[in-house]
Structure 1
Amino acid sequence: MLAKRHPAMVDSIAGAVTVKSLDLYYVVASDAQIPLKGEHGFGLYFHDCRFLGGYRMALSGLAPIVLASSAQKGYAALFELTNPDLHFEQGPPIPKDELGIRWERILDARQTCVREVMTIQNFGHQAHGFPLTLHFRAGFEDIFDVRGLVQQDLGRRERAAWREGRLHFVYHGADRLRRTATIAFSPMPDAKYETTAEFRIDVPAGETQTIAVTIELNEYSEEAEANHLNQQPTVALDNLAGNLQAGSEEWLDRHTKFDSDSLLLNDIMERSLRDLAMLRSDLGNREYFAAGVPWFVALFGRDSLIVAHEMLAFQPEIAAQTLRLLASYQGHRTDRWREEQPGKILHELRVGELARAGNVPHARFYGTVDATPLFLLLLGRYAAWTGDLELFRELQEPVERALGWIAKAGDDHGEGYLKYRNTSESGLINQGWKDSADAIVRTDGSIAKPPIALVEAQGYVFAAKRAVADLYERIGERDRAKELRGEAERLQTRFNHDFWCEDLGAFVLALEARGRQVAVVSSNPGHALWTGIADKDKGRRTARRLMQDDMFSGWGVRTLSTAERRYNPVGYHLGTVWPHDNALLAAGCRRYGEDDAALRIFTAIAEAAMHFRHHRLPEAMAGFPRKDFQVPVHYPVACHPQAWAAGAVPFMVTTCLGLEPDAFAGKLRIVRPRLPDFVNRIALRGLRVGEAGADLEFRRTADGAEVNVQKTSGQLSVEVGR
């Protein structure tokens, strides 16, 4: 049973170095190694399978010492290592730090392999000789097994074998796929044991010696012939690195260009955009953003939709591909095990052994309540940025099916609320973005009883119906537009009555069974503010409540108040700080005129990023107060990079600059532009609205920011207002 979405029940990966290219990704410890034993998340992964789960280098039996590591490019990792004191039965010892070991790893997704080069340099004054061993372990574990959610060993592993100087691992899966990992070396090892390659390193003073390793992964039907490693290892990675760099730069070149006078903000933005380039994945020749490394490298309805929304001002095209892709997997039947229903948008799509063999429902799993309204909302916001009505016409049938599902989902008493109740023993108990089993809690700490209507889900429905109504208006179907607007207005009226709690001075987390309020203070109402469903006074009061000390940690707003019974600073959804959650809340604050709160959140998240490797925002941070710890505390198994965390700062830039597009009218409105305290100038070049574009510069003033429209292209008017 998969009753929770904790990312993993394994040891911390907070210090992991991660690289990814399409569906191939590598997660290694900060010392460049993958432990051979223990429950951990490190490894080499492809298609929801950890092919390689152990990889250890040793110098005369001892681990090297790591000096530095980097994975800034996303597709490559570089480690600088040195030796500990090495002693031998015969011959002189090698003093510590006398050897330099440069270990380069590059992912080649086209060949589904990793190409590695280890360059050993002797910095000493005499020649050195020593054994270098590489130990491997290939378990072919399914991602659900690695995460500790399912303990099933379905397939059969062959005994590892050496053939023609290569190490072969083979696994016969229960899904009738044969998975292989083949490791080749140049030069050939001097000695070979079970799963260990040993090299005799003899390097003169001041000279270098090189070892190249290629790890190729394959999966093919049991009936197909194996085709192991046609290409030999190469000691020159320059051409491959150059091609990968060019591809990455070409994708980034299609974005709106960002610059500011803040080195910190420039670094965070560059890191965010490069992480999103890294998280791109492909399914059916359509690109989408995979949710996060290492646990969620897959299509996730909610995650992929939200990050596509965050990126509309910078890269709108991927939103259209994501919408088409999710429409192609829209539910068509009732399947309780998969929680599929007609019109429902997919939650998660997995391609690993357990999913393909039917042991978990995730080959197509629909256990989410909010992906469907978010699908509609993204379609509307995408149209506002691009002026593209053709996509709406193309997806009109999926749109109507989605609206039909919303009308029926969980609403057995006619209140008009979108609710969920888990129907699958293999599914998720909670089905909003806080989907761990203990996320939706009452004031006494007990678990809320379904059916549950989440505060933010109602906001998504409200905004989705208004956005789709505008599209129907534009294609001349005014009656349908009027009907949807009327439904949204009635939902708004009920919502502001039923979800408001005067004692809290804020909207509640949810309504549970029999319409009872789950009256805890949480971050969820921030999403509702983003959608505009709240009455003005209630919206402003909620924003102010969420900025009080029990919610605002100093690094951002917590998921749950410290005053609540179930608060836990390292509870996945019970007190942690999530960048994307804060970005949506900041947008909500701006909508209700609480600009200072939005800027305070922006500054806190940016200052938190300063303390993470490469300024990369993780999926979540622990909720400890900033006054107690002067650095943000790592959440031990958070994904990094993670898509909607990477999109958080670009979205906050869009929000705080007040960008409101109307591509159909050839207009960009800039409403109450503001800059956070650590920035005095922001420039956007090539910002696209429909077929037109603009170069804009924002400069801080005493009461906000002035806007300089440096250039426009096409038919675009820019209006600045308050």
Structure 2
Amino acid sequence: MAANTSTATTQDSPTGNGLGQGFQDADAVLPQYHIEAQTSLVERPLRSLKYGEAFAVLDSYGDIGVLPGPEGLYFQDTRYLSRLGFTIEDQRPLLLSSVMQDDNGALSVDMTTPDIRIDAHDETTIPRELIAIERTKFLFKGACYDRIGLRNYDSRHWKLKIGVTFDADYRDLFEVRGMDRPVRGKRSVQVASESEVQFRYVGLDEVVRTTSLHFGPKPKHIEPGRAEFEVSLPPGGRTSLFIRVVCESHRAFTSAPAAEKVGEDAAAGLSQAAGSAAVARHPKGLGEGVIFARAYRDARRDLRQLTAGITTIISSNDQFNEAACRATADLYMLASRTPEGIYPFAGIPWYSTVFGRDGIITAMMALWIDPNFAKGVLRYLASTQAKAVDPAADAQPGKVLHETRRGEMAMLGEVPFRHYYGTIDGTPLFVMLAYEYYAVTGDIETVKRIWPALELAVEWMNRYGDRDGDGFVEYARDTDKGLENQGWKDSHDSIFHTDGHLAKGPIALCEVQGYVYAAKNGMAKLATLLGHDAFASRLGEEALALRENFDKAFWCEEIGTYALALDGAKKQCAVRSSNAGHALFTGIALPERAASVAANLLSKDGFNGWGVRTIARGEARYNPMSYHNGSIWPHDNAMVAMGLARYDLKPEASRIFQGMFDTALYQDQKRLPELFCGFMRRNQRGPVSYPVACSPQAWAAAAPFAFLSACIGLEIQHDRNRIRLRNPTLPDFLEGVSIFNLKLGTSRIDLRVQRYGSDVTVNVLRRVGDAQVSVVK
């Protein structure tokens, strides 16, 4: 993710160290791509919808921009609708309930009228709670559909004035995040017909962006920014109003540079031909009610098709079932179709686009639920892999994409993220995922298809990734606009020494060496499978040497765990961090180190009762409110738990799972957020939220499935036609879990994992095919 950090340093325990004044002053300057926060996203519940490249951030009423914040209807990294307010007799309704449907397909809002004075002269009033208002909103193919239904429960006939206000500011997402732009394009608005208003923005990037608002029935009055309806409701009467907001973009000119840009976007796999940006078309003459009903039907069918055949779980704990249901719904809401398959966009609101690292890790954690995520991610990243050296994009041949953006600022180069490759870990993670995908599915055709990309990725690791030839993969940005830190903790201040001073590069991160180790081991197995024996042998030798050298260079006896990183002088950043847990996840950690690493992670400084902190309490830059220096990330904890389970440290993995489940119970919709603050857990109080965390976030949504698979030791081994559960265990909040439609080749298995005290049994409930199930203790 692009960095977003707090510059304050706050300790929740006397064990924290103070920061020297010398670099406090340097940190006072806001870091790159800072997410500005005058208001917190936790001040009021927000609701998110997404389809393809469009997403909406709404308040609980389903409105946009009534209060300041990130609310809006966004399309291709631009806010196409910045305000949409709904009133009755110039008053806002009373909110009764606001819920996302279980599958995230739509937002359902129930409201009623407040006490309304119709005529100030004769004091005619409508007592509250006589008119029921039911609102349904969803997105489908570049459009937002909104139905407002009203029903009169009074014995009297009422005529009501309904007002809808709206605006479109066409702010680039990075502007919404807080960046200033001295020059912008030209915006205009017109009443296109008696039931349509159209906003138009001609950007500096020669793209015309339009927002068309269609109303049904025809408003009594319509003007730029406002539509007014008169509704007549007899006793028991019902009526509905419809608002359809259509987002579109096209080139203003057909110059050669513009044509080249279109070609690049198509290569990125986010073209209109893919359906992600295509607008739903409706025959002329249809009423808005019919259009709404058809789009709703098609959207439901589309979602059912996307989730058909996935693995599902039902446990003994209803609250965990709710959390798992929401996590599943979030994964598929964030999934976008590309020509290469489905790709999980990273998160809403700040990262609703392709991120290489996020997509890979999400796919890894969800691999046993639905391998189609991994297939789509692998194919997409192979198709967008860098082919040349491009310092402005931090790109070298073989490097995997970090992120892609389609907003005006990215197109103009005001931010470097149009096709940006500034990630040090995406490339080895890409190779890791390729082997894990094959091991589970046996899909050799996909491996063959992306094999040239895998070979280029390995070459990049050895040539460009290892800048000084010492066997470790390091990073240093090639453009001042690029990210200063290029691991998953990419805040400007996330890599530092014990005294708090920032490390100078090139920087070799602890976890990245583990990813490279696992990537080369996996690639060696794939190479053997395809008959490249010499290549496989070389990769195996490189992986073995890396493991030995890693332990010598990164193990730090003083802190009892692996160092966070090595700086450009090969000096250890001897800081206790969650990064060391990734050394367990990848298997690069020596077995004799595992218990010490685990003890460090689960100590009171490392584990706050909810999860493992990114940076342990007491380290120089520890700040429980920071983005990466003391906060808690569910996906990070899931990878740590998977690492603990790999070294058969199941009680420790279960402890983290328990903490994360407890966290979900305190969250709106039981949804794990992108991150939360690292303050120590206190009795009768929930975890402390982070003010601008994305929710939903793809890898946070996939985390519950990673926790569960780690604890039950789930291994799907296609080459042996076997599903194995290695030393399965369950945390205290789960007495039993049933797993349905677990896939292995053409076989389908239903399992029941049941806990009796500290003992766990496994029963096969259904088997279709010849796959075997075994339990190893």
Tell whether the structures are fold-level matches, with TM greater than 0.5: yes
Q: Are 2:153 and 1:133 aligned?
A: no
Displacement, 1:267? 1.5
Distance 2:481 2:287 in 1: 43
Task: Determine the structure 1 residue equivalent to 2:289.
Answer: 235
> Is contact 1:67–1:80 with CA below 8 Å preserved after alignment?
yes
Amino acid at match of 1:186: G
Q: Which residue number in structure 2 is paired with residue 355 of structure 1? A: 410
Paired residue type of 1:194: P
Separation (CA, whole Å) in 2 of partners of 1:339 and 1:58: 49
1:65 to 88, 94, 97: 94
Residues 78 and 105 in structure 1, CA contact (< 8 A), matched pair in contact too:
yes
2:125 aligned partner, one-letter code: P
> Are 2:331 and 2:701, in contact at CA under 8 Å, matched by a contact in 1?
yes
Shift of 1:255: 0.8
Look up the match of 1:313: 368
In the TM superposition, 1:67-82 aligns within 5 A as: 67-72=96-101, 73-82=103-112
Of the three residues 419, 424, 428, the one matched with 2:474 is: 419
Matching residue of 1:641: 696
1:551-579 alpha-carbon deviations (Å, 9 max, x no partner): 21222111122212322222111222111
Q: Could you give the per-residue CA deviations for residues 694-720 of structure 1, whole angstroms, max 9, x where no partner exists?
A: 222211134431111334333422222
- TM superposition shift of 1:233: 5.2
Cα distance per residue 1:41-97 (max 9 Å; x no partner): 110011111100111122333322222111233231111122333223244122333
- Mapping 1:519-668, distance limit 5 Å: 519-627=574-682, 630-668=685-723
SS at match of 2:392: coil
Aligned-partner residue type, residue 431 of structure 2 = L
Structure 2 residue 403 is matched with structure 1 residue 375: no
> Which residue number corresponds to residue 213 of structure 1?
243
Is contact 1:305-1:374 (8 Å) kept? Answer: yes
Structure 1 residues 106-142: Cα deviation after superposition (integer angstroms, max 9, x where no partner): 2121xx2122111223333433344321111101111
Residue 459 of structure 2 corresponds to residue 429 of structure 1? no
Given that residues 37 and 54 in structure 1 are in contact (C-alpha distance below 8 angstroms), is that contact kept between their aligned partners in structure 2?
A: no
Deviation at 1:609, TM superposition (A): 1.1
- Whole-angstrom distance in 2 between the partners of 1:86 and 1:518: 64
Q: Distance in 2 between matches of 1:570 and 1:5?
A: 18
Paired residue for 2:271?
A: none
For residues 20-59 of structure 1, the aligned pairs below 5 Å read: 20-35=50-65, 38=68, 40-59=69-88
- Residue 162 of structure 1 deviates from its aligned partner by 4.9
User: Within 5 A, what are the aligned runs for 1:278-289?
Assistant: 278-289=333-344
Does residue 89 in structure 1 map to residue 98 in structure 2?
Answer: no
The whole-number CA distance in structure 2 between the counterparts of 1:681 and 1:69 is 32
The change in CA–CA distance for 1:192 and 1:396 in structure 2 (over 3 A counts) is: closer
SS at structure 2 position matched to 1:635 = coil
1:517 Cα offset (Å): 1.4
Q: Quick check: 1:330–1:346 contact (8 Å CA) kept in 2? A: yes
Decide whether the 8 Å contact of 2:494 with 2:628 is kept in 1: yes
Q: Point out the more displaced range, 446-455 or 398-407.
A: 446-455
Structure 2 residue matching 1:515: 3-state secondary structure: coil
Comparing 194-203 with 330-339, greater Cα deviation is found at 194-203
Deviation per CA, 1:276-324: give whole Å up to 9, x if none.
1111112335221111112111111100011111111111122122111
Q: Distance in 1 between matches of 2:149 and 2:447?
A: 55
Aligned to 2:41: 13
Instruction: Pick closer, same or farther for the CA change 1:378–1:152 going to 2, 3 Å.
Output: farther
Moved more, 470-479 or 177-186: 470-479
SS in 2 for 1:395: helix
Equivalent position amino acid for 1:64 in 2: P
- 300-309 vs 358-367, which moves further: 358-367
- Cα pair 1:308 1:316 within 8 Å, conserved: yes
For 1:692, the equivalent position in structure 2 comes to 747
Q: Deviations over 1:334-387 (max 9, x none)?
A: 111101101100000112222223333222100100000000000010011011
Higher mean Cα deviation, 586-595 or 186-195? 186-195
* CA distance in 2 between partners of 1:415 and 1:668 (Å): 39
Closer/same/farther in 2, CA of residues 432 and 300 from structure 1, 3 Å limit: same
Distance 1:285 1:456 in 2: 29
Give the Cα–Cα distance (whole angstroms) in 2 for the partners of residues 7 and 473 of structure 1: 46
Show CA shifts across 1:444-478 (max 9, x none): 33322121111111110011111111111222322
Q: CA deviation at 1:638?
A: 1.3
- Secondary structure of 1:170's match? strand
Q: How far 1:213 moved relative to its partner?
A: 1.2
Aligned partners of 1:569 and 1:64: how far apart in 2? Answer: 39
- The number of aligned residues is 718
Instruction: Name 1:103's counterpart in structure 2.
Output: 135
**Equivalent residue for 2:268?**
none
Question: Which runs of 5 or more structure 1 residues have no equivalent in the other structure?
Answer: none
Q: Which residue of 1 is the match for residue 327 of structure 2?
A: 272
Go from structure 1 to structure 2 and tell me whether the alpha carbon gap of 1:269 and 1:7 turns closer, same or farther (over 3 Å shift).
farther
1:157, 1:172 within 8 Å by CA — same for their partners in 2? yes
Mapped contact 1:603–1:676 kept (Cα < 8 A): yes
Alignment pair present for 1:143 and 2:183: no
Q: Does 2:209 correspond to 1:154?
A: no
- Matches of 1:164 and 1:621, distance apart in 2: 48
What amino acid is the match of 2:602? Answer: M
Secondary structure of the residue aligned to 2:125 is coil
Aligned in 2, Cα 1:8/1:460: closer, same or farther, shift over 3 Å? farther
**TM-align CA RMSD:** 2.2
Q: 1:596-621, CA deviations, whole angstroms, 9 ceiling, x for partnerless residues? A: 11001111111211222222111111
SS of residue in 2 equivalent to 1:274:
helix
What's the CA shift for 1:515?
Answer: 1.0
TM-score (normalizing by structure 1)? 0.95
Distance 2:702 2:35 in 1: 20
Change (3 A) 1:7 1:695: farther
Q: Tell me how far apart the structure 2 counterparts of residues 337 and 146 of structure 1 sit (CA, whole Å).
A: 24
Give the residue type in structure 2 aligned to 1:135.
T
Tell me if structure 2 keeps the 8 A contact 1:69–1:79.
Answer: yes
Residue 673, structure 1, aligned to residue 728, structure 2? yes
Distance apart, 1:150 and its partner CA: 5.2
SS in 2 for 1:342: coil
- Structure 1 Cα separation of the partners of residues 421 and 511 of structure 2: 19
Write the distance in 2 (CA, Å) between the matches of 1:194 and 1:349.
34
Q: Would you say the 8 A contact 2:467–2:474 is kept in 1? A: no
User: Which sits farther off after the overlay, 274-283 or 333-342?
Assistant: 274-283
User: Residues 147 and 714 of structure 1: is their aligned pair in 2 closer, same or farther, counting only changes over 3 Å?
Assistant: same
Three-state SS of the structure 2 residue aligned to 1:66 is: strand
The answer to whether the Cα contact below 8 Å between 1:133 and 1:196 also exists between their aligned partners in 2 is: yes
- Which digits, 9 at most, give the CA deviation of each residue in 1:470-489, with x for residues without a partner? 11122232222121111111
Distance of aligned partners of 1:228 and 1:649 in 2 relative to their CA distance in 1, 3 Å threshold: closer
* d(CA) in 1 for partners of 2:287, 2:703: 40
